[in-house]
Structure 1
Amino acid sequence: MNEEDLKRAFQDVVVASSPPPAMDPGIALDKAHKARSRRRASITGAFVAVLVVGVGLGSAFALNPQGTKDYVLGTGPSSSSSNAGVPDSKWGEDWPVGQSDRTATNGPQADRGTQLLELAKASVPAGYDTPDLKYTDPSMHGGMLRAQAQISSNKGDSPEIWEYTAYVPVRKGDKVGKLTVVVTTPRPNTATEPCALAKQFQGMRDASCKTFDVAGQQIGVASPASPDLGTGTWASYRAANGWTVTVMQEGEYPYSGHPSLGEQPFLSPQLAALAADPKFLLGS
């Protein structure tokens, strides 16, 4: 027997000669009672916790069904909720489903265009009306009062970009001007400085521009540098969520054949305030 075998044999003898102490029945019974009480408390606490969570989830589900579903499933908020109001169309081979070109003629995007038209009509000052006039020139097609919703991005582009436009004849007496409202979803490379944003409209980079404060927001109001480039005035606004709104007024309705209004319905501060009106963000 070597030293290691002797050490192991000694340990075995020590363990065998040290039996556990005898169990006291009273102590054992007291420990059992305490253990049972702890188990009951744990079960009751777990039941209350589940009940509270269930009530909380029930209330949350009533307020936000999709968000509650995401919480329970552990999926987190969906991309649509984190980009509220931004379209996400289903595409066919070339265009969003239901379209034969860039223009949506039915469905939710076309509905947004119609909504914008109604908002624009309701925005003209007192003393003016917004009739559904026709062009007097037979070579001009379509009505002068109209809306359009078109996709500006291509299949596979991210983000998907939509542009909504309302064209409104503004009449006073027998004379007619024009109000145009253009709303776009967030797009890359949109200027954030007010006048830079206004100058992006129709590529008018040499337009003259001033900024106006509307409830703490700076709005760019611009006009062409030369009358040869048009006589309109427009205000451009970029919302915090990236949507942009441009409201343009003209003293005439180009190519309509109707007498020119000769005046613009809004002063520049009023036009700026109209562009910043959140109603034009179309629920985004």
Structure 2
Amino acid sequence: MNEQDLKRAFEDVVVASSPRPSMDPRVALDRAHKARSRRRASVTGAVVAVLVVGVGLGSAFALNPQGTKEYVLGAGPSSSHRGVPDPEWGEQWPVGQNDRTATNGPQADRGKQLLELARASVPAGYDAPDLQYKTPGMAGGMLRGQAQIITNKGETPQVWEYTASVPVRKGDKVGRLTVRVSTPNPKAPTDPCAQVNGYLGNSGAGGCKTYDVAGNQVATAASMTSGPASTWASYRAANGWTVTVGQAEEYSDSGYPKLDSQPFFTPALAELAADPKFLLGS
């Protein structure tokens, strides 16, 4: 400590003390030393805190530059696939894929997850066994789940669709439950009726009916195209994910007799479409 430091510390003690401290030089010097020590401790603590935070952010930035930037700026996660990073692309398809369908990795896992969720959603009185096709020329199981990339290389955001098809059995008769989930797609319609009819290929929005499910609008419509009679419900979540659920009395080409009626009443189908479990952790 030089003379100027001692003088400044001594003045700090004099100003901060009440009543006026003793002018005994030994007492004043002792207090001056203590004041200087406190200042040094405060400065050292602040420097250490800054260094710790800096090291932590530096490590985080090395592992996740975008996430660290969002943390510093106070922004939330920007990915539409929360917890599942977008895959890297090869020459034409995401790495590890031979076409649009993912057969392994986190996206394929989501397809499997959706299948199990759909299978567990059949109403009371029905089951969803792993049936095999009976129709000649049709092989394999009737439980189908997949994940596929909709956008092409270089397009952002990447859009993924997950689809599950489940045989719904009652007695010896079998129908079908289908669930399709999409990550946010800027090109998709926001109107629920346009969404469900567009998915079905129906012209216009004729026959569409909406239901309020916990404050959310869910659109329902019957298929106008050829094939088994079916009813569908579409829901768009606040985060942009969409869910479309369909039911049919018949599982096409399965070789099983069709159900006497569709498994769900239409309002119940709308409720199922709005179930947050189908958002796959988004």
**TM-score, length basis structure 2:** 0.77
Distance in 1 separating the partners of 2:162 and 2:213: 23
- Contact 1:237–1:246 (CA under 8 A) maintained in structure 2: yes
RMSD: 3.4
Compute the displacement of 1:151 (Å).
0.9
Compute the displacement of 1:106 (Å).
1.2
Aligned to 1:149: 147
- Structure 1 residues 115-134: aligned runs within 5 Å: 115-134=113-132
Compute the displacement of 1:225 (Å).
3.9
Matched, 1:76 2:70: yes
Write the letter of the residue equivalent to 1:170.
V
Which SS does the other structure have where 2:251 is aligned?
coil
Matched, 1:46 2:43: yes
**Equivalent of residue 204 in structure 1, options 202, 205, 218:** 202
Distance in 1 separating the partners of 2:100 and 2:220: 29
Which SS does the other structure have where 1:205 is aligned?
coil
**Equivalent of residue 34 in structure 1, options 2, 8, 11:** 11
Q: 1:124 to 1:54 in 2, by over 3 A?
A: farther
Distance in 2 separating the partners of 1:253 and 1:265: 12
Q: 1:42 to 1:203 in 2, by over 3 A?
A: farther
- Structure 1 residues 52-63: aligned runs within 5 Å: none
Compute the displacement of 1:53 (Å).
6.6
**Equivalent of residue 98 in structure 1, options 96, 99, 104:** 96
Compute the displacement of 1:203 (Å).
2.5
**TM-score, length basis structure 1:** 0.77
Q: 1:241 to 1:29 in 2, by over 3 A?
A: closer
- Contact 1:152–1:162 (CA under 8 A) maintained in structure 2: yes
Aligned to 2:218: 219
Distance in 1 separating the partners of 2:279 and 2:237: 8
- Structure 1 residues 261-280: aligned runs within 5 Å: 261-280=259-278
- Contact 2:100–2:148 (CA under 8 A) maintained in structure 1: yes
Compute the displacement of 1:95 (Å).
0.8
Distance in 1 separating the partners of 2:8 and 2:48: 30
Compute the displacement of 1:55 (Å).
8.8
Which SS does the other structure have where 1:168 is aligned?
strand
List alignment gaps of at least 5 residues for structure 1. 1-26
Distance in 2 separating the partners of 1:96 and 1:45: 53
Write the letter of the residue equivalent to 1:203.
G
Compute the displacement of 1:49 (Å).
3.8
What is the aligned length?
253
Cα deviation, 1:20-79, whole Å, max 9, x if unaligned, reads xxxxxxx99754623767754543333444566789999x99xxx9589879x9733499
Compute the displacement of 1:232 (Å).
0.7
Q: Which has the larger radius of gyration?
A: 1
Cα deviation, 1:97-117, whole Å, max 9, x if unaligned, reads 111111111111111111000
Write the letter of the residue equivalent to 2:79.
N
Bigger shift: 148-157 or 136-145?
A: 136-145
Compute the displacement of 1:230 (Å).
4.5
